[in-house]
């Protein structure tokens, strides 16, 4: 149930750092011996080898992994890994970077769940600093260390929140008092989002609630609703 | 009070798209005549020229701009613009991309407020898809069009929330009923963050509240507290 990170370049290193912060188990596949040597002392588990080779992926535990992050610099290499990984483990979550916009569709076709274009994400982030600066500052300043300044967001389905099947208003559920979590969004049965819904909004069958909380609050939420 | 985007490559294009979504006034400086020709039909205001030249920056209205986004592919070019822009307009918000990590400090020294490394942001985003997938899905699915599915987050200072200067508990303020906005964070006087604070938490002098809401809710918040 671990994560495999392919490539310890700029993208892979940053991804690994965040996984460490969240105490998420992971292993890094890196073919450059000097890179492995240099960082192996730190708290990282490396497999020295080429992620393009099925045996290396299997050595990294691909068959029982939850997720693979393809962070090699070349789109062709990442595409090759996406295809191999999807063949070996059909239920794996596959996340890949891509440099070229034209690679996006190819990677999706090959089986990637998420394709990240760093230049797009970077441009988006620059504009977000202009249009939603307080949101960006809030998210950037959270040091995700499991304490009071850690954030988590959880989606809970109508079926979990209202196991009887009766459609109820958000305020009737009294979630804040019971779990400490706050409702920040609602996703209706046809996929439409409402940010910060009114307490009087009635949950429809097939909808989802989006809640924010600290790790302990999210934990009580999950316990209460059997998530 | 507009934004200047330097360069209409991958980063600049994505930044411009987001600014358009948020109906933010902006102008793009692009030196490639073919690029200007190709995109000028769209709803974009272009200035054809080299953002490295002071006259071009001034033609783009740098002296009265609120923000400049330096999105050229070369770190040296962006650094040059950061320096020029800071000289011409000391109160400008300067956001620059950088490819090399070593450029980060140089750009900060030259006067940039924010320096974005697309590979770092990309790596961070890939890991976030693993550790906070529901938060990422929530943020990604918001189509920021000014309606019910638009998000905004606002920081409000203690001084605005409690103009009398008396320290009060969050629940006493009754912000949710008065404005519709929900409190999602608290930033204490010494900078420490609390995610989703308890309603009983007492606001200290010098602190800030972080609130989430739809645009109309944020508007009432700003009116209520004279932000
Ligand atoms: Ca979840
Ligand atoms: Ca603000």
Residue A1, classed as helix, strand or coil, is coil
Q: What is the mean pLDDT of chain A?
A: 92
Per-residue pLDDT tens digits for A182-192: 999 999 999 88
DSSP chain B: --EEEE--SHHHHHHHHHHHHTT--EEEEE--HHHHHHHTTSS--EEES-TTSHHHHHHTTGGG-SEEEE--S-HHHHHHHHHHHHHH-TT-EEEEE-SSTTHHHHHHHHT-SEEE-HHHHHHHHHHHHHHSHHHHHHHHT---SSSTT--EEEEEEHHHH-TT----BHHHH-HHHHHS-EEEEEE-TTS-EEES--TTPBPPTT-EEEEEE-HHHHHHHHHHHT-
Residues B181 and B174 sit within 8 Å (Cβ to Cβ): no
Query: Residue A116 has what pLDDT?
Result: 95
Mean pLDDT in residue range A64-83:
97
Per-residue pLDDT tens digits for A140-166: 766 555 566 677 888 999 999 999 999
Q: Which of B135, B142, B149 sits opposite A153 (nearest CB)?
A: B135
Cβ contact, residue pair A153, B131, below 8 Å: no
Q: Distance, CA A69 to ligand 1 centroid (Å)? A: 18
Query: Residue B67 has what pLDDT?
Result: 98
| Torsional class of A66: left (φ above 0), alpha (ψ -120 to 50), beta (otherwise) | alpha
Per-residue pLDDT tens digits for A102-153: 999 999 999 999 999 999 999 999 999 998 888 888 887 665 555 666 778 8
d(CA A208, CA B148): 16
Query: Residue B147 has what pLDDT?
Result: 60
Cβ contact, residue pair A97, B129, below 8 Å: no
**% of chain A at pLDDT higher than 70:** 96
Give me the residues paired with residue B23 across strands.
none
Q: Are strands A3-6 and B46-48 parallel, antiparallel or unpaired?
A: unpaired
Q: Name the DSSP letter for residue A146.
A: S
| DSSP alpha helix (H) spans, chain A | 10-21, 33-39, 54-59, 75-88, 103-110, 118-131, 133-141, 158-161, 170-173, 175-179, 215-225
Residues B107 and B77 sit within 8 Å (Cβ to Cβ): no
Query: Residue A222 has what pLDDT?
Result: 94
Q: Distance, CA A154 to ligand 1 centroid (Å)? A: 5
Please indicate if any CB of chain B lies within 8 Å of the CB of A130. Answer: yes
- As for the ipTM of the complex, it is 0.86
User: pTM of the entire structure?
Assistant: 0.86
d(CA B69, CA A129): 10
Cβ contact, residue pair B193, A141, below 8 Å: yes
Mean pLDDT in residue range A89-103:
96
d(CA B198, CA B188): 14
Query: Residue A153 has what pLDDT?
Result: 87
Residue appearing with tokens 């770190």: B75
CA of A67 vs chain B CAs: smallest distance (Å): 8
Q: Name the DSSP letter for residue A67.
A: E
Residues A155 and A184 sit within 8 Å (Cβ to Cβ): no
Please indicate if any CB of chain A lies within 8 Å of the CB of B2. Answer: no
Residue A198, classed as helix, strand or coil, is coil
List, for chain B, all residue ranges whose pLDDT scores fall below the cut of 50.
none
The tokens of A44 are what?
A: 């990282």
Cβ contact, residue pair A193, B126, below 8 Å: no
Query: Residue A149 has what pLDDT?
Result: 63
Query: Residue B15 has what pLDDT?
Result: 96
Q: Which of B15, B120, B185 sits opposite A127 (nearest CB)?
A: B15
Cβ contact, residue pair B95, A130, below 8 Å: yes
Query: Residue A81 has what pLDDT?
Result: 98
CA of A145 vs chain B CAs: smallest distance (Å): 12
Non-local CB neighbours of B206 within 8 Å, separated by 6+ positions = B158, B189
Cβ contact, residue pair B212, A128, below 8 Å: no
| Half-sphere exposure at residue A69, Cβ-oriented, CA atoms within 13 angstroms | 31
Query: Residue B145 has what pLDDT?
Result: 52
d(CA B137, CA B124): 15
d(CA A71, CA A13): 9
Q: What is the dihedral of CA B180, A219, A68, A56, to 10 degrees?
A: 170
Least confident segment among A50-59, A65-74, A85-94, B32-41: B32-41
- B83-86 own/partner pairs: CB under 8 Å, 24+ apart: B83/B110, B83/B111, B84/B52, B84/B54, B84/B57, B85/B57, B85/B111, B86/B110, B86/B111
d(CA B117, CA B92): 21
């Amino acid at each position: 149930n671990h994560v495999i990170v392919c490539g310890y370049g700029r993208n892979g290193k940053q991804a690994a750092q965040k996984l460490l912060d969240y105490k998420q188990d992971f292993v890094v596949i890196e073919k450059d011996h000097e890179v492995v040597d240099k960082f192996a002392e730190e708290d990282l588990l490396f497999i020295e080898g080429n992620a393009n080779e099925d045996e290396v992926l299997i050595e990294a535990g691909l068959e029982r992994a939850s997720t693979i992050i393809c962070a090699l610099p070349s789109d062709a290499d990442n595409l090759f890994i996406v295809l191999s990984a999807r063949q070996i483990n059909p239920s794996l979550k596959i996340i890949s970077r891509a440099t070229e916009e034209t690679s996006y569709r190819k990677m999706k076709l090959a089986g990637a769940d998420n394709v990240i274009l760093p230049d797009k994400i970077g441009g988006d982030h620059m504009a977000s600093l202009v249009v939603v600066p307080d949101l960006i500052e809030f998210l950037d300043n959270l040091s995700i260390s499991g304490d009071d300044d850690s954030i988590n967001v959880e989606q809970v389905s109508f079926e979990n929140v209202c196991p009887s099947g009766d459609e109820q208003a958000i305020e009737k559920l009294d979630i804040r008092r019971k779990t400490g979590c706050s409702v920040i969004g609602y996703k209706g049965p046809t996929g439409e989002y409402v940010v910060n819904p009114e307490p009087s909004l009635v949950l429809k069958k097939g909808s989802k609630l989006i809640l924010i909380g600290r790790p302990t609050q999210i934990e009580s939420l999950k316990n209460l609703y059997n998530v």
